[in-house]
A and B are shown apart, each in its own frame.
Chain A
Amino acid sequence: MGRLILRQFQGADLEPVDLTIEAGECVTLTGSSGSGKTRLLRAIADLDPHGGAALVDRQAVDQTPPPEWRRRVGLLPAESHWWQDRVGDHFNGSANELLTELGLNAACLEWQVARLSSGERQRLALARLLDRQPAVLLLDEPTANLDPENSARVEALVQDYAQQHGAAVLWVSHDPRQRRRVGQRHLVIRERRIETASA
């Protein structure tokens, strides 16, 4: 289970924000580029300094060792980076099921990272993250490089994962139709403030 609670949370030069995302709930976030969406996600994942409080269920960020916090609060950045040559060396367990749902298969674990297309990288980065079973998902434009078919696969996989694991999801997307499809609530950043929006 993972309920994300932000109390007077301050990151990315934004005004302090109070936000609770229930376990299994998906909240979308949008805003013009440079408004601080990416930096807000980085601050929640504790990759950048921040003020206020962030909790997953009852556990506060400053009382959790950083690696444990980041394992629970999984951030999927817009651009993925890989530190080994072989795709499979970035995975912990057997990720077969995840890969199948993303339209890939176990053979791609043997592929060289350098030869991946941008769409493959993006889907494999999601699989790599879900493989570690985070309690909260922070997704930064997870379908930006994908065709409609693969976008649908990613949306379905994330929704399944959120239901099965009771994971709170914060989803950054520029596509209004996608926001309506995946989110139960919608937020927008306007002039350094995070406001509730209609999809």
Chain B
Amino acid sequence: MELIQLSAYDLSIPALLVLALSALSWRLRLGVERQLLIAALRSILQLLLLGLVLNTLFSQRAPLPILALALFMLTVAGYEVMARQKRRFRGLWGIGIGTLSMFISSFSITLLAVHLVVRVDPWYTPQYLIPLLGMLLGNTMSGMAIALDNLTRDAWQQRGMIEAQLMLGENWDRAIGEIRRNALRSGLIPIINAMAAAGVVSLPGMMTGQILSGSPPLEAAKYQIMILLLIAVGTGLGAIVAVWIGSRRLFDQRQRLRLERLTGA
């Protein structure tokens, strides 16, 4: 089966529909037409740019530019994790915790996948590395952000409960233990739901893409299974590391709760 190429004319049809939607938003006074158009424009430009960059990378196959792109994606993901939190850690910790957890949840898992599962040679073959990394970053990011956001929000709201335990001689990690477990649970629930609903309620994006480009559905399903399982592992490991470092950072070396280390204090 040949891939049916999309022309500029083909793309103009959905683009016109988006324009119509923004006109409707203006007519209904929803006030989101501006945001809608900017977001649509951003997605067009970003994706075209990515396509161009990948085209170049695919043809050159030099490891350094590929690694640079991967690191750039990682930093942006780390920033996104931080930006989605209401109360962030001050200073370098804010972006540091996000980036480190994204590194663990996505970078290492992707390397593992291209090395041990797909067995690509060389491992940095961009056709595999970049899409896999992108899938993992995009899908583990929200789990990470939710877990950290829950941690800092609950610590903020339940200060009295944490300190009551400290006053009675509990260790810091017991005093925040329940909050930590709750944060991890909430970070893991979306991927658990996604795995349970995969193929029944939703046709996952990666599988859709492969089917559209002509892969046999069963092969596409196998890739999708791999990516879903990796996302689950990545989300779990990344969230555990992020929440552990974050909860440790909430206390100082004398095990005092230091909420002024969060913004908004």
Interface residues of A (CB under 8 A from B): 45-49, 66-68, 70-71, 74-75, 77, 79-83, 128-129, 132
Contact = CB atoms under 8 A, between A and B. Distances in A.
B166 A80 contact: no
B168 A132 contact: yes
A68 to B, nearest CB: 7
A70 B164 contact: no
Nearest to B178: A83
B171 interface: yes
A129 B164 CA distance: 10
Contacts of A75: 167
A47 B163 contact: yes
Interface in B170-216: 170-172, 178
A70 B254 contact: no
A91 to B, nearest CB: 10
A79 B161 CA distance: 11
B161 A68 contact: no
Contacts of A132: 168-169
B169 A48 contact: no
A83 B161 contact: yes
A interface majority secondary structure: loop
Contacts of A79: 160
Contact of B169 (A68, A77, A80, A82): A68
A13 to B, nearest CB: 15
Contacts of A45: 167
A161 to B, nearest CB: 16
Contacts of B160: 79, 81
A148 B167 CA distance: 27
Contacts of A81: 160-161, 163-164
A49 B253 CA distance: 11
A129 to B, nearest CB: 7
B165 interface: yes
B90 interface: no
Given A81-B161, A82-B161, A83-B161, A70 B256 contact: no
Residue of A47, A48, A71 with most partner-chain B CB within 10 A: A47
A74 B169 CA distance: 8
Contacts of A68: 169
B164 A82 contact: yes
Contacts of A128: 168
Given A67-B170, A71-B169, A77 B256 contact: no
B43 interface: no
Contact of A67 (B164, B178, B255, B257): B255
Interface string B235-265: 0000000000000000010111100000000
A67 B169 contact: yes
Given A46-B254, A49-B256, A70 B166 contact: yes
A56 to B, nearest CB: 13
B245 to A, nearest CB: 20
Given A75-B167, A83-B164, A128-B168, 5 more contacts: A45-B167, A47-B256, A49-B252, A82-B161, A132-B169
